[in-house]
Structure 1
Amino acid sequence: MTTASTTSRAGGARVAVQRFGTFLSGMIMPNIAAFIAWGFITMLFISVGWLGGWHPVSDLIGGFGNADLINWPGAMTALAEDAEGNTFAQFVGLVGPMVTYLLPLLIANTGGRMVYGERGGVVATIATMGVIVGTNIPMFLGAMIMGPLAAWITKKMDSIWDGKIKAGFEMLVNNFSAGILGMLLAIVGFFVFGPVMLGISSFLGAIVDWLVTYQLLPLLSIVVEPAKVLFLNNAINHGVFTPLALQQAEEAGKSILFLIEANPGPGIGLLLAFSFFGVGQAKASAPGAAIIHFFGGIHEIYFPYALSKPATILALIAGGATGVTTNMLLGGGLAFPAAPGSIIAVTAAAIPPAAGGVANLLVVYLSVLLAATVTFLITAAILRASRKRDLAAEADTFGAAIAQTEANKGKSSAAMDALRASSGAGAAAVTTDREIKTIVFACDAGMGSSAMGASVLRNKFKKAGIEDLTITNKAIANLDGTEDLIITQQQLTERAQGRNAGAVHVSVDNFMNSPKYEEVVEMVRAQRGTDA
């Protein structure tokens, strides 16, 4: 009744780190838009920003008299004077609180929701406020720890009296218990947790300073570049680099740490080398992948190419180290996270005046160019050295490399789906005696490629004249047992079965264009007795 490719149970340290990295990035990535908003506000309105030096203020608000200025909401914080006594629009009342309070609290709330829903998010936010006030610095690491911890404590507290509350008193108990617990955790965060996290943050910052002082920062590429190919990049980038980089950017206007993982140079160098010197499917698909990577910022698109020829990881390391060295020696950096890591996002984050403006942008561009060049040359040498052997091989290993990339990532991906479109894997036909009314596409996040897959299948049923089905997409964690048929990427099927063992489970390699969709349509058509 269930169709699923047999998948081996992943284990070991790599899987544990992957899961940890997914959890960390799950707190940061949904809030990237807020980081970018803060970055643009900083770029425009601080004293050295693009709009920060307007003189006089009447240029900004036009025609208002002095009395109106005094009564203007926020005038006392939005106006400032430079060394010559000229007034300018600074919006200092917005930039500082955003990075000190808003961004960490968003992270804490997201982490709390991941652990215990809305209730966990509320308590996590209250508790993290204590940590922030106790340190008075952008406490991102503290938010990433205190948020989930506070939610977990809330969950354990609720389990104590679960099912024991008399009817009518549930709201009273829930609200007061969460409020009291939030208060206690905020106090603990202020007096205990905050100082501890301040020490940890200072220690990590000292390590980075030591690496910079002794010019050892490029050695991080030895860890970062292989980690990216194995989908451990989120654990490193969003778990360590981004929190430290935000604190550096707050103090210095920019940080090199934003570019260690996000630099698109190594990836574009690898893909260009495959475009010229690769073989088979890898060579044919590399030019399109290069565009997606460089302008779309989807770095995962180049991971299968590296896996198909593991020696090229050395080229990625060399290219990454070259980019880091360039930025370290010439002072390049970004003012806020470049997410996704496209050249467009990198440009926006490199050009703010506080980060050095056009001069800094040119340094960053140079780091991308040199990283791409070094990676291209080394990859080209590796591919040319094995070209005859690769051409003589009967099977192209690129398809297997894509499968390995998906296994490493452990979740569905539109980018991988696009690469796999020409190499589908066979599996047992979809059959069931259960009436299908609700079909759900499930993945880790419940959006992205699963949403597109749901749209594709919805259109197929519409063309078949069957429109009384509910076809949606969800995160696997949100499966509630009401689904009749669940479609997942093959590495996630086992997890989906654990959430709803009674449903029909269909595993696909390609969310965008799987032959399984036709089988599902035919199965439902047969159940309804609908003619083709």
Structure 2
Amino acid sequence: MHMNIQRFGRFLSGMVMPNIGAFIAWGLITALFIPTGWIPNENLSKLVEPMIIYLLPVLIGFTGGKMVAGIRGGLLGAVATMGIIVGAGVPMFLGAMIMGPLGGFVIQKVDRMFAEKIPAGFEMLVNNFTAGIVGAGLAIAAYIGVGPVVITLNLIIKGLVEKAALAGLLPIASLVIEPAKILFLNNALNHGVLGPMGIQQVSESGKSIFFLLETNPGPGLGLLLAYYVFSKSMVKQSAPGAMIIHFLGGIHEIYFPYVLMNPLLIFAVIAGGCAGVFTFVLLGAGLVATPSPGSIFALLAMTPKGSVLPVLAGVLISAAVTFIVSAPIIKRRKFLEDEEKLETAKEQVKRLKGQKIDTELNINLDGEIKKIVFACDAGMGSSAMGASTLRNKLKKQGIHVEVVNEAIENIPTDAQVVITHENLSTRAKLAAPQAEHILIKDFIETPVYDQLVEHLEKLKAVKPEKPRESLRIDELPVLQKKNIRLGEKSVGKIEAIKMAGQLLAESGYVTEDYIDAMVQRENDLSTYIGNGIAIPHGVASGKMQIRKTGITILQFPEGIDFGEGMAHLVVGIAGVGNEHLAILSNLASVMEDDEIAEGLKTTTDLEYVYKLFTKK
């Protein structure tokens, strides 16, 4: 149940996080130029309403559709979102979160329905018209049917929230928010629930308290300060650094282990959260947009004119209350000062995130490494902290490698190594199939950084051998052992196809463009052929990109959903003549033998696979 909520939360925040820059731009324009802003300007304030009514919901709708069905899904998501925007006339963020993914889902189903039914030469015509017809239908349905439902739902939620605020019950939201943060549901709450509610409130009153409920750094600051004052061991020494990362850097995850060292401290952060919200309500505090990450600097940047002191008062009071409640708990539990307790708590945080514990670096890097990219949803926050940490470690060892942090969608093409959270691996590999990917469980606390530095030191110390002269194109065998990859981690089917195509390209069998032809073939018709095997290959027009017949074999023990079935063996094919037919004949024999096919799903014997596919 917890993992399902996490996935749902990641999906919601995934629609918002890539667009945070646009939200901040709108927030700054609002804070500066509206009549009650810092520097009122009648002309520039005209930007505020179109951005919140049209731009931001359309961006969310596009991103939601793209997450489901790529660029084509994004297009349909944006068109469908426009229907609900026009039908409502008010900021439709909830509607965009519904219609965006729905648009991607519908066009995905329609494309599958028409696969292999389109006459040659009519592909572009049919694809454009199906998108247009489906888009028009979704927009009309959103305008007539979905819009009124979402408006009614918005009104109900708004009414309940207003009643809670009038009754003085808003502070008790901390009973849910603070524990949920420790369970790593902060993105789901902030960007999936509180953010859309806050933006709608801003459109009505110019600011919103909802942007302060989850992002308030006060409780974490008070807790860490209490550890610094009342602890006497290694925990005390670690607290100042954690305070800087949390309060100034905005990475709240840093204080979660300190709560888990003694679960009673959850009451301290809840008390601080309640006190902060009560102060915000009492003084009329609010922000104009979501501060992301939750740093004090981000809070102040999103604070409208007249709310600076109320915002600071709420943060400081929440910190003070948390400090006071934490003090006797920390002083009473002497054993909490043991450093091992902190390490155990950090591991517990990782498990609460649905993670395993980082153990060792599992990559195969050789040659000169010039660029390492840390990637996450927004390219800020935790990934920025990780990039800074690794950059400093490399600098100390005199290793000159460029280390940057980017949003997943903006990973540069010259990235040689991409470091990202394991839950984002599929998206990262789709965005940068050319790079070596390092998957971690925690951007802040991981042994992988030290292991990577050690690995790069070894590469620096060893003088690279002169590369062996590569085989001529006409000398390449159809299947090479290096192109058999066993025990691969499951990814999306398109990513698996790109992996197979990339191996073909790297080995010289095809050009890079052939990979697109393989993806197009899969979009036209599934290449799953049964018995756990898929044979992705290019469309007819892709033959021009084939330099030599070749085959690659990738094994995914946990399977990949190809729509028609679960593939455990993905056989990438580039064929110009009849050279590959012998291997396909062997493949047909494999399919007929259920025992062999079953064994191929999990075998670790590369020699066995090679002989099986190349036997006469």
Q: TM-score, normalised to structure 2's length?
A: 0.65
Residue 25 (structure 1) aligned to one of 13, 23, 48: 13
Tell me if structure 2 keeps the 8 A contact 1:294–1:343. Answer: yes
Residue 515 of structure 1: aligned partner: 451
Report the CA distance between 1:403 and its aligned residue: 2.0
Q: 1:261 to 1:526 in 2, by over 3 A?
A: same
Tell me if structure 2 keeps the 8 A contact 1:268–1:290. Answer: yes
Structure 2 SS opposite 1:350: coil
Measure, in 1, the Cα distance between the counterparts of 2:415 and 2:281.
57
Trace 1:128-527 onto structure 2 (pairs within 5 A): 128-352=81-305, 357=306, 360-387=307-334, 389-391=335-337, 396-410=340-354, 427=360, 445=377, 447=379, 448=383, 470-473=416-419, 475-478=424-427, 479=429, 486-490=437-441, 509-511=446-448, 513-515=449-451, 517-519=453-455, 522=458
Superposed CA RMSD: 3.4
Gaps (5+ residues) in structure 2? 402-413, 467-616
Report the CA distance between 1:188 and its aligned residue: 0.2
Report the CA distance between 1:452 and its aligned residue: 6.5
Q: 1:390 to 1:91 in 2, by over 3 A?
A: closer
> Which amino acid counterpart does residue 16 of structure 1 have in structure 2?
N
Report the CA distance between 1:25 and its aligned residue: 0.9
Structure 2 SS opposite 1:488: strand
> Does the alignment pair 1:93 with 2:46?
yes
Measure, in 2, the Cα distance between the counterparts of 1:258 and 1:216.
17
Report the CA distance between 1:278 and its aligned residue: 2.7
Cα offsets for 1:43-87 (capped at 9, x unmatched)? 22223333326xxxxxxxxxxxxxxxxxxxxxxxxxxxxxxxxxx
Residue 36 of structure 2: aligned partner: 48
Tell me if structure 1 keeps the 8 A contact 2:358–2:440. Answer: no
Instruction: Report sequence identity in percent.
Output: 43
Measure, in 1, the Cα distance between the counterparts of 2:131 and 2:344.
50
Is the deviation greater in 334-343 or in 249-258?
Answer: 334-343
Structure 2 SS opposite 1:514: helix
Cα offsets for 1:301-346 (capped at 9, x unmatched)? 2112112222111100000000111111222221222222221222
Tell me if structure 1 keeps the 8 A contact 2:358–2:441. Answer: no
Report the CA distance between 1:525 and its aligned residue: 8.5
Q: 1:446 to 1:294 in 2, by over 3 A?
A: closer
Q: 1:40 to 1:444 in 2, by over 3 A?
A: closer
Residue 501 of structure 1: aligned partner: none
Q: 1:146 to 1:457 in 2, by over 3 A?
A: farther
Residue 34 (structure 1) aligned to one of 15, 19, 22: 22
Tell me if structure 1 keeps the 8 A contact 2:224–2:243. Answer: yes
Q: 1:280 to 1:175 in 2, by over 3 A?
A: farther
Report the CA distance between 1:258 and its aligned residue: 1.1
Gaps (5+ residues) in structure 1? 1-12, 54-88, 413-423, 493-507
Measure, in 2, the Cα distance between the counterparts of 1:122 and 1:425.
38
Alignment size in residue pairs: 442
Residue 74 of structure 1: aligned partner: none
Report the CA distance between 1:118 and its aligned residue: 1.0
Tell me if structure 2 keeps the 8 A contact 1:440–1:487. Answer: no
Cα offsets for 1:430-469 (capped at 9, x unmatched)? 698x9999999887649526766997999999779xxx99
Q: TM-score, normalised to structure 1's length?
A: 0.74
Tell me if structure 1 keeps the 8 A contact 2:419–2:438. Answer: no
Report the CA distance between 1:111 and its aligned residue: 1.2
Measure, in 2, the Cα distance between the counterparts of 1:458 and 1:381.
41
> Which amino acid counterpart does residue 509 of structure 1 have in structure 2?
T
Q: 1:90 to 1:491 in 2, by over 3 A?
A: closer
Measure, in 2, the Cα distance between the counterparts of 1:186 and 1:426.
49
> Which amino acid counterpart does residue 369 of structure 1 have in structure 2?
L
Report the CA distance between 1:408 and its aligned residue: 2.8
Cα offsets for 1:15-59 (capped at 9, x unmatched)? 111111111111112212212211222222223333326xxxxxx
Report the CA distance between 1:146 and its aligned residue: 0.9
Tell me if structure 1 keeps the 8 A contact 2:31–2:303. Answer: no
Q: 1:332 to 1:435 in 2, by over 3 A?
A: closer
